[in-house]
Amino acid sequence: MTNSIREVPLSEGFLVIGSNTTENHPVIGSMIMKEVINQGKKLIVVDPREIELSRYADYYFQIKPGTNIAILNGFMHVLIKEGIFNKEYVEKRCEGFEAMAKILEKYNPEFVAEICGIDNPEDIVKAARLMAQLKPMALYYAMGITQFVSGVNGVKSTANLQMLLGNLGIPGGGVNPLRGQNNVQGACDMGALNAVYPAYQPVASEENKEKFEKAWGVSGLPTKPGLTIVEMFNAAVAGNLKAVYEMGENPVMSDPNQHHVIEALEALNFFVVQDIFFTETAQYADVVLPACSFLEKEGTVTNTERRIQPMHRVLPPWGDARDDWWITMQIANRMGAQWDYKKPEDIFEEIRMVTPSYAGITYERVEKELIQWPCPAKDHPGTQYLHKEKFSRGLGLLTGIDYTPPAEETDTDYPVILTTGRILEHFHTGTMTRNSKILDEIVPEGFVEIHPNDAKIYNITDGEVISISSRRGSIRIRARVTDRSKPNVVFIPFHFFEAAANELTIDALDPTCKIPEYKVCSCKIEKIYL
């Protein structure tokens, strides 16, 4: 997030796109709702499903899954055509405007409405005009922007719009991605990505290689980026990857094309799982290492707004469970390392040494202060919002981006669009929430949302078990007849192993960041005749 959660009241309006905020990020979602309902703030929502926030929106665009870039281009087309974008901001702080404007010329409201499946093109014009009036407007998005083969371009499009409106580098504005889990931001900050060291320092850099070899007392660190998780499984099936060590992840449930994931795990020579429960993935492990839950841990987490928060041990570890860092250290030392961390704070001190954005953050400070990185020195207050006076690259780069369709479109064999996501009652792969008796009683099984028109066409009644198939697999799942999605679009939450949505999803990847296209693929609906 370029901005902060506490800035929600400073925004005059909100664009929420690709985020079911009240269900997936309830605290932030409730804050936005409060401003809209109680303070009369303006709200524009773009989402394939009719989410709770759409009920309070001034404009709601129920787009076809995978068409985010087209509608963002449509908004920007209107801003430029009518001359209502922030010209001073663009001239002083941005570059690339002319090239972007040329690409946007064809994205008139009628063209965009046709791509996105919007009934009233004039609403695109009205919403763009409203955005231009909101000083400032905050943009919030989540995995409904990123989980496409065009995910990187979708993110760039959100930045294009906010720069065009002059909403970056100011309080109450910003491009604000809502991270999917409580420490995803922290994990990425620490280098849990295939091509970077901590603080996003590229592995490919010789300078970074030397820096980390010196800091860690090692030699021979690689300069070639590693594989992403889908690439790892492809390599395993091909026989080019022999072992995987998995920590706190459940790829049998969370990764696309479940059959392929299982095939990859079975092809490995050696597979280790480190987790707090015996997950669906752990069933394929050669060794399972019991880790501590968050109540049994010490350390820090970094949340979606770049805020570093302390975590204290509340309960003693259960049974043979151990801290993740301790388990990793023991294995490393048995393989020849000489790590001698006594406690999480020792590791945090190393983090401060090699991670410039964390250099000024200490355990003492996070206990007393609200600190967000970058915080380069102990006397630095942290950074509430990014890009205050200039962008890290100097001028903000406006990029002309064309809409590209999803990797797999509907046809006569698979005529229905499938999209996936989460629901309020369950979290991610259900590792924790489905072990909660109360939550599992509230929503005990998976379901597929199907529009009443489609239910009539396929002769399906609410609550009936039906078959949903894609080119990768087939599941049986209970139908929930609702008009939350458009006709010819079905939605399945991916928390339920018994009807796993990711048995159906496609493992096509964004060519830049290699994220899979979870949010759209083609499928078919079939009634089950007993």
Contacts of 303 (CB under 8 A, 6+ apart): 179, 182, 183, 185, 186, 309
Which segments in the chain show pLDDT lower than 50? none
pLDDT in tens, 144-171: 999 999 999 999 999 999 999 999 999 9
Whole-angstrom Cα distance, residue 436 to residue 430? Answer: 9
Count CA atoms closer than 13 A to 260's CA, side-chain side: 20
Is 461 strand, coil or helix?
coil
pLDDT in tens, 309-328: 999 999 999 999 999 999 99
CA distances from 158 to 17, 68, 100, 164 (A): 9, 9, 13, 10
Contacts of 177 (CB under 8 A, 6+ apart): 1, 140, 141, 142, 145, 146, 155, 304
Domains of the chain, by residue range, sit at 5-178, 184-368, 416-527
Whole-angstrom Cα distance, residue 190 to residue 200? Answer: 8
Q: Which fold has domain 184-368?
A: Rossmann fold (3.40.50)
Whole-angstrom Cα distance, residue 265 to residue 249? Answer: 13
Count of H-run helices and E-run strands, the chain: 19, 20
Contacts of 201 (CB under 8 A, 6+ apart): 191, 208, 211
How large is the greatest C-alpha to C-alpha distance in the chain, in angstroms? 71
The answer to whether 420 touches 521, Cβ cutoff 8 Å, is no
- Does domain 416-527 fall into CATH 2.40.40.20? yes
Residue 510 confidence (pLDDT): 86
Residue 527 φ/ψ, nearest 5 degrees:
-75, 140
Helical spans, DSSP H, in 308-461: 324-334, 344-354, 363-368, 437-442, 452-457
Whole-angstrom Cα distance, residue 64 to residue 77? Answer: 19
CA distances from 484 to 35, 58, 111, 356, 432 (A): 24, 18, 25, 45, 27
Query: What CATH class has 5-178?
Result: alpha beta
The answer to whether 215 touches 350, Cβ cutoff 8 Å, is yes
Residue 430 confidence (pLDDT): 87
**pTM score above 0.85:** yes
- Tokens 């679009």 locate to 489
Residue 476 confidence (pLDDT): 96
